[in-house]
Structures are given as C-alpha cells and as structure tokens.
C-alpha cells in the first residue's frame, strides 16, 4: 500500500501535469487527435498524462549528430500530410540533411500503483499496442510509455540537393498518410478500451 | 517477497528461455553481436533473456496488410549491409511492395522482482537507451523490452518496379550502416554497464 507521503506526492505530480496539459490545450499546443484520450485519463483520480504525441508527419533538419535536440522541424503535421505544401517547403533553403518521417503516437501515462499500471498495459494489449511498458516504477509513481509501430524514416535532401524526385516523394506521402490513418484507428481503439475498462460503472 | 511457488515458476521459465538461447547459439541462429550480453545476463540467477535482436538491415516484402506476419525477408544482415549484394537481391522478382529498413536492437529481458527490473531500467538509462520499459509485471515474473532509437524505413519497390535509383539506394545503405555502428556502440555500452552494475563483486 502507498503511504500518505506517496499519495500526497502523487496528487502533486498529477496536479502539475494536469496544469501543463490544460495550458497546452488552452494555447492550442496540444495535438488535437490525442486530446479526448488525455482528457479521459486525466479525469480519473489514479491517472495522468505527461508529454505525448498523437503521431505526426515531419520534415526534419538533421545535423551531423543526428539527434532531435540539435534538429529542427521544417514541416510538421499531426494530421494527414500535404505532398504539395511539404514539397514546396523542401525547395526552401535547408541545412545539412533533411529526413522525411512519419511517426506513430507516443503516450506517457502516469499512475499511482503497479496494479493500475498493469490495468493500462492490459488495455494497451487489447488495443494491439505492441511497443511500450512501465519506464519508471517507484512507490506511488509509475510512468508508462506506449507507442504505435507504424513508421517511415528516410533521408530526402543532402546539402541543399534533393535526393528523390517528386513522384517518389508523393508515393512516400501517400504511404505516410495510410500509416497515419492506421495510427488514428489504433488510438481510437485504445481510447474506447480505456473508457470501457477504466471508466466509471455508475 | 516472492513465494516459493513464484520462485519455482521463475526458475522454470528461466530454464526454458536459457535452453532456447543455447539452441539458437548452437545452431548459429542467434545474432552474434548480442550473444555476449545475453550470455552475461543468463549467467545471473535473477535474469534471463528472451527473443532479442541486435539490430538489422533488411529488405522486406510487404503485402497489403503491411504486417511482419504476412511479410518476408528478401535480404537480412545483423552486421553492415552491402549495397552491391542487396541491390542485386532487389533486381530479383519481388512481391507487391519492398521496404528498406534499418532497425535497432530490441532486447527482451526477464527477471524475478520489481527491484531487479528497476536495476535493469537504471542500466538502460545510463546507457542512453530511451525506449522501453517493463511490459509484463506479475509476481515473480517481470519482462522488460529495451529498444534502440536508430531507424530507417522506406518503400523502394512497388509492383516489381524500382522507386529509387542506385545512387539514392547507396546513400540509404551508407546511412543505415552509420546507424548500425551507433547501434553497436550503444549495445556495447549497455553490456559494459550491466557488467559493472549487476556483475559479481567477488
């Protein structure tokens, strides 16, 4: 059983994360497709959501370190990508290397007990989410990371020179959008299962 | 504390997984770069390794379901890829769609207690492994999944027609090999940290 100190600490952490989430929604900085799922989890006393992404299609400027810390987004959408708009963005001056990426959702969810972490893992399994787990397990504070598996990642521009032609780029965007649709379906399925399994039975 | 029944169950599971690992090594089916790390973990009473991959470069035949279950490898290496060999493989008749992929390591490690799972997570953090966590948490049986973040994934052939030219393909292979080297370095770092933190202090 969690001690009073652990319970108080959990309440505090949940409150702080809820404030961040609330601010992000208010300022239009939260990914729209993930808002209902996050709102639902945040409404439950035992759970909160931390920084999460609902999935995205991006053009990423990458330097020789190839890390996101030193990289910058050249195009980004959490919805379906426009080949026309992003191709136009590509024609602008860019840095060392540009990669085209479609990334699936990545959710960070906090909870107070291992039992509740297990309930979340069970929901993830039922939704067919194969990647993820409890990444932090302390008395009174468990953080889970859950990830979709859809993904595209390829270099498409090097030293301001395009490496691929427009036909291929449009093919990439079509595949990315197909994967984004599958990604949304899985997120929706997960939300539905969470509401069924964790929701109130009033 | 784990009960006797839980301890016995853990021993049995560890034994079964060790036999699978031993068979894979004997039959040359284990990924060579991951063998020392797996051997070390399997030598400890509290840990075992389950199906793991040290990282790979593959050409994957994908059907309309785009799942690995229904897909087939057209080329696969756990070391550095040869652009020449794999390009030649590409010229053979292939099915609906072929994707070029570089995937990082994915390790599955079992242990008997949450405390030991936490020791593993701490080692992963120290090695800079950002993806993964405890994916199964039952009394006496904890399974962790740890993953590298390097990756490339792009379609390169559709209905027996190449989508990219050889120059671009060679660029892709160079980037894949660069990522495979980073992947190996991270695996080696993780092994070193595991030996330091979990090894015997005799």
Average pLDDT in the B140-144 region? 94
pLDDT of A105 over the 90 cut = yes
CA angle A46, A56, A25 (to 5 degrees): 45
Q: For an interface test with B, which of A117, A121, A135, A185 has the most B Cβ atoms less than 10 Å from its Cβ?
A: A135
Which positions in chain B touch A62 (Cβ < 8 Å)? none
pLDDT in the model for residue B183? 95
Query: Which pLDDT band, with edges at 50, 70 and 90, does B197 fall under?
Result: very high
pLDDT of A34 over the 90 cut = no
Which residues 6+ apart lie within 8 Å of A27 measured at CB? Answer: none
Backbone angles phi, psi at A179, to 5 degrees: -70, -35
Pick from A132, A137, A168: which is nearest to B114 by CB? A137
Q: Residue A168 and residue B163: Cβ atoms within 8 Å? A: yes
Residues in chain A: 202
Look up the pTM and report it: 0.91
Average pLDDT in the A18-26 region? 90
Closest CA to B56 of B20, B30, B90, B37: B30
Average pLDDT in the A81-86 region? 96
Which DSSP category does B106 fall into? Answer: E
Q: Give the range among A107-116, A182-191, B94-103 with minimum mean pLDDT.
A: B94-103
Count the domains in chain A: 1
Q: Give the range among A53-67, A185-199, B12-26 with minimum mean pLDDT.
A: A53-67
Q: What is the overall mean pLDDT for chain A? A: 91
Residue entry with tokens 């959990």: A10
Q: For an interface test with A, which of B71, B116, B153, B162 has the most A Cβ atoms less than 10 Å from its Cβ?
A: B153
Closest CA to B129 of B121, B137, B141, B138: B121
Burial of B148 (0-12, 13-18, 19+ CB in 10 A): buried
pLDDT in the model for residue B47? 96
Query: Which pLDDT band, with edges at 50, 70 and 90, does A200 fall under?
Result: low
Closest CA to A60 of B101, B202, B151: B151
CATH number of B122's domain: 3.30.1960.10
* Nearest residue in B to A174, CA atom: B155
pLDDT of A202 over the 60 cut = no
Which positions in chain B touch A164 (Cβ < 8 Å)? 164, 168
Distance from CA of B44 to the nearest CA of A (A): 22
Q: What is the overall mean pLDDT for chain B? A: 91
Average pLDDT in the A6-26 region? 90
Q: For an interface test with A, which of B133, B153, B156 has the most A Cβ atoms less than 10 Å from its Cβ?
A: B133
Pick from A132, A137, A154: which is nearest to B154 by CB? A154
Tell me the per-residue pLDDT of B116-139, one tens digit each, with 9 for 90 and over. Answer: 999 999 999 999 999 989 999 998
CA angle A75, A78, A82 (to 5 degrees): 55
Which residues 6+ apart lie within 8 Å of B55 measured at CB? Answer: B31, B33, B78, B102, B103, B104, B105, B148, B150, B180, B183, B184, B187
Query: Which pLDDT band, with edges at 50, 70 and 90, does A49 fall under?
Result: very high
Render B125-159 in DSSP notation, one character per residue.
HHTT--EEEEEEEETTEEEEEEE---EEEEEEEET
Query: Which pLDDT band, with edges at 50, 70 and 90, does B199 fall under?
Result: confident
Binding-site residues on chain A for chain B (CB distance < 8 A): 114, 117-118, 121, 131-137, 144-145, 147, 151-155, 158, 163-164, 168, 171-172, 175
pLDDT of A171 over the 60 cut = yes
Which residues 6+ apart lie within 8 Å of A197 measured at CB? Answer: A119, A122, A123, A126
Neighbours of A98 (CB within 10 A): 22
**Interface pTM, i.e. ipTM:** 0.90
* Nearest residue in A to B179, CA atom: A66
- Which domain covers residue A43, as residue numbers? 4-198
pLDDT in the model for residue B65? 65
Secondary structure class of B30 (helix, strand, coil) = coil
pLDDT of B201 over the 80 cut = no
Q: Residue B42 and residue B87: Cα distance in Å, rounded? A: 38
pLDDT in the model for residue B202? 47
| Helical H segments across B27-152, by residue range | 35-43, 83-90, 114-126
Which positions in chain B touch A144 (Cβ < 8 Å)? 133
Report the share of chain A in percent with pLDDT over 70. 94
pLDDT in the model for residue B184? 95
Q: Residue A131 and residue A61: Cα distance in Å, rounded? A: 26
Beta bridge partners of B71: none
Distance from CA of B23 to the nearest CA of A (A): 26
């Amino acid at each position: 059983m969690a001690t009073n100190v652990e319970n108080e600490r959990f309440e505090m952490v949940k409150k702080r994360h809820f404030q961040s989430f609330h601010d992000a929604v208010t300022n239009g900085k939260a990914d729209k497709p993930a808002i209902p799922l996050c709102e639902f989890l945040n409404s439950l006393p035992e759970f909160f959501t931390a920084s999460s992404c609902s999935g995205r299609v991006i053009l990423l400027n990458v330097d020789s370190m190839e890390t996101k810390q030193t990289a910058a987004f050249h195009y980004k959408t959490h919805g379906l990508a426009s080949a026309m708009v992003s191709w136009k963005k590509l024609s602008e001056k860019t840095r060392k290397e540009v990669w085209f990426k479609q990334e699936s959702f990545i959710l960070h969810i906090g909870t107070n007990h291992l039992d509740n972490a297990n309930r979340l893992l069970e929901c993830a399994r039922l939704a067919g989410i194969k990647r993820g787990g409890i990444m932090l397990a302390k008395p009174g504070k468990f953080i889970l990371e859950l990830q979709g598996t859809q993904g595209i990642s390829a270099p498409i521009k090097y030293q301001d020179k395009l490496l691929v032609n427009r036909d291929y780029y449009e093919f990439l965007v079509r595949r990315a959008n197909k994967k984004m649709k599958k990604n949304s379906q899985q997120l929706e399925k997960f939300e539905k299962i969470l509401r069924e399994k964790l929701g109130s039975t009033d």
